[in-house]
């Protein structure tokens, strides 16, 4: 992991609710961390351009994620992939024997997921016991399964565009579509 657990506790708050105005005391309480450690991590995340400290006139200061900044988006993507690795989801997806391609797409691939986001998984082949509605860390897996290239060709282009922009856990784009050069 990039950060020890307590830093991850703070990051998770900003990743799950990127537009929320977080007050210091609320961060301390939700992250279950001392004020001193929270201050340390927040300074570090401000320096890394992941979080911003805002002090409005006459109002309580707050922290908010810099959700449009590349540092934030990259850190969030790595955090999600690490969570998937640590919980065994990535290994499970890679070990699907009769799946030619497995792709994470949607909000997790774009790094714009939040508390209510599901996890979109595209499988070309046999998903085995992985099914639509499976729960991973409190999030629903939306499993889109296609057994043949003919089925993939009949999928609406918007879905395929999202899939090819996703993270290929197994296989590559050539397994899904014809790529002209």
In the chain, the domains with their CATH numbers are 5-72 (1.10.10.10), 96-175 (3.30.460.10)
pLDDT of residue 169: 96
Measured between alpha carbons, how far is 138 from 67 in angstroms, rounded to an integer? 23
- Examine the pLDDT at 49 and tell me if it is beyond 90: yes
Read off the pLDDT band of 180 (50, 70, 90): low
The per-residue pLDDT for range 120-170, each reduced to its tens digit, is 999 999 888 877 767 888 899 999 999 988 888 888 888 888 999 999 999
Q: What percent of the chain has pLDDT over 90?
A: 75
pLDDT of residue 179: 61
pLDDT of residue 72: 97
CA atoms 67, 29, 86, 119: torsion sign: negative
pTM: 0.84
- Examine the pLDDT at 3 and tell me if it is beyond 60: no
Read off the pLDDT band of 2 (50, 70, 90): very low
Measured between alpha carbons, how far is 44 from 75 in angstroms, rounded to an integer? 13
User: Residue 175 has what DSSP assignment?
Assistant: G
Query: Would you tell me how many other CB atoms lie within 10 Å of the CB of residue 60?
Result: 11
Query: Would you tell me how many other CB atoms lie within 10 Å of the CB of residue 37?
Result: 16
Measured between alpha carbons, how far is 164 from 181 in angstroms, rounded to an integer? 16
**Tokens standing for residue 151:** 């089925």
Nearest Cα residue to 139 out of 169, 163, 114: 114
Measured between alpha carbons, how far is 60 from 106 in angstroms, rounded to an integer? 35
């Amino acid at each position: 992991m990039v950060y020890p657990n307590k830093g991850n506790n703070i990051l998770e708050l900003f990743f799950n609710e990127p537009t929320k105005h977080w007050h210091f005391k609320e961060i301390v309480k939700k992250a279950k961390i001392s004020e001193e450690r929270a201050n340390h991590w927040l300074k570090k995340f401000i320096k890394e351009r992941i979080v911003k400290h805002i002090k409005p006139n006459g109002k309580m200061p707050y922290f908010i994620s810099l959700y449009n900044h590349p540092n934030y988006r990259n850190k969030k993507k790595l955090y999600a992939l690490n969570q998937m690795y640590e919980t065994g989801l990535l290994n499970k997806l890679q070990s699907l024997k009769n799946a030619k391609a497995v792709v994470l797409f949607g909000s997790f691939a774009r790094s714009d997921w939040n508390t209510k986001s599901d996890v979109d998984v595209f499988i070309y082949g046999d998903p085995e016991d992985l099914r639509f509605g499976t729960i991973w860390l409190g999030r629903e897996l939306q499993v889109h399964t296609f057994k043949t290239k003919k089925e993939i060709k009949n999928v609406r282009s918007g879905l395929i565009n999202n899939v090819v922009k996703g993270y290929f856990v197994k296989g590559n784009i050539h397994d899904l579509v014809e790529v002209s050069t």
